[in-house]
Amino acid sequence: MTDFKSRIGSDWKKQLNGVLERARAAGEKGLLVFDLDSTVFDNRPRQSRILREYGAARGLKVLEGCQPSHWNSGWDLKAAMLSCGLSAELADQHYSDAKSYWGARFFTSEYCVDDIEVPGAPQYLQAAHDTGAQVVYVTGRHEEMRVGSVKCMEKCRMPLPGNRVCLVMKPTLRESDDAYKVQAHAQLAKMGTVIAAFDNEPTHANDYAKKFVDATVIHLATDHSGRPVELLSRIISVPDLRL
């Protein structure tokens, strides 16, 4: 997986503050757009819970001790299994079954409430809302995850949908994230002026940069799908959302 941390400049906090200044000037016509997973939410606790439960269900003791740190290599399930201490042979043997087990749980409200905040996300989102601009969450999560997503926002003290806050989700799980995001990005122009967009996925960040040439595009250098996509040069990478 490409590591984008080398792109993070020494002035990244200044860039985050600059977004807030521009949003204050724009007022309620301005949009500050945020992805959810690996942008404002850290999914590793959810990932770890699923792998622990898989270990318990299949009698794989080492997986029962899975912790968020075992997912530091990104979204690679097999890498996490190996990091937990499972042998390469058993990881290969169980991968397909574990992937199906993971897929049946990861995309649910029941499990997404385990997410925690990316450092600084609650405070930055509140500061974004306080500018008077609109906060728009645009996520590849589908509508059946809305209840759990909002519960997790509440748990993490993030601005909730309503009162200049909107949560835009896929209709169903089966839609492609990439195709849906392209469509959702196009709809944003009807809602106001995009001041800035925040996303961890290079493909989606690049699409924002192409569609909204006057917007600041912030890339969260947390983790991503692992596809070999280079970020456009004008996109700013940050490690988290601390000011």
* Residue written as token pair 């968020």: 68
Do 50 and 165 fall within a single domain?
no
As given in the structure block, the two tokens for residue 113 are 């409430």
Q: Select from 81, 112, 143 the last residue of a domain.
A: 112
Do 36 and 148 fall within a single domain?
yes
What pLDDT is attached to residue 224?
A: 84
Q: Is residue 243 part of a domain?
A: no
What pLDDT is attached to residue 1?
A: 60
- The pLDDT tens digits of the residues spanning 109-146 come to 999 999 999 999 999 999 999 999 999 999 999 999 99
What pLDDT is attached to residue 194?
A: 98
Do 91 and 198 fall within a single domain?
no
- Residue 198 bridge partners (DSSP): 34, 218
Do 131 and 214 fall within a single domain?
yes
Q: Is residue 84 part of a domain?
A: yes
C-alpha 111/C-alpha 149 separation (Å) is: 10
Q: What is the CATH number of the domain that holds 17?
A: 3.40.50.1000
Identify the CA nearest to 117 among candidates 9, 196, 15, 45: 45
- The pLDDT tens digits of the residues spanning 41-76 come to 999 999 999 999 999 999 999 999 999 999 987 789
Q: Is residue 18 part of a domain?
A: yes
Do 17 and 81 fall within a single domain?
no
- Return the number of other C-beta atoms located less than 10 Å from residue 56's C-beta: 12
The domain in which residue 219 lies consists of 5-42+115-238
Phi, psi of 50 (to 5 degrees): -65, -45
Identify the CA nearest to 228 among candidates 208, 207, 209, 201: 201
Q: Is residue 64 part of a domain?
A: yes
Do 26 and 129 fall within a single domain?
yes
Question: Hey, is 128 helix, strand or coil?
Answer: helix
- The pLDDT tens digits of the residues spanning 77-115 come to 999 999 999 999 999 999 999 999 999 999 999 999 999
Q: Answer whether 114's CB lies under 8 Å from 79's CB.
A: no
**Structurally, how many domains does the chain consist of?**
2
Do 208 and 166 fall within a single domain?
yes
Q: Answer whether 151's CB lies under 8 Å from 180's CB.
A: no
Do 166 and 233 fall within a single domain?
yes
- The pLDDT tens digits of the residues spanning 159-214 come to 999 999 999 999 999 999 889 988 998 899 999 999 999 999 999 999 999 999 99
Q: Select from 112, 139, 164 the last residue of a domain.
A: 112
Do 103 and 11 fall within a single domain?
no
Q: Answer whether 101's CB lies under 8 Å from 81's CB.
A: no
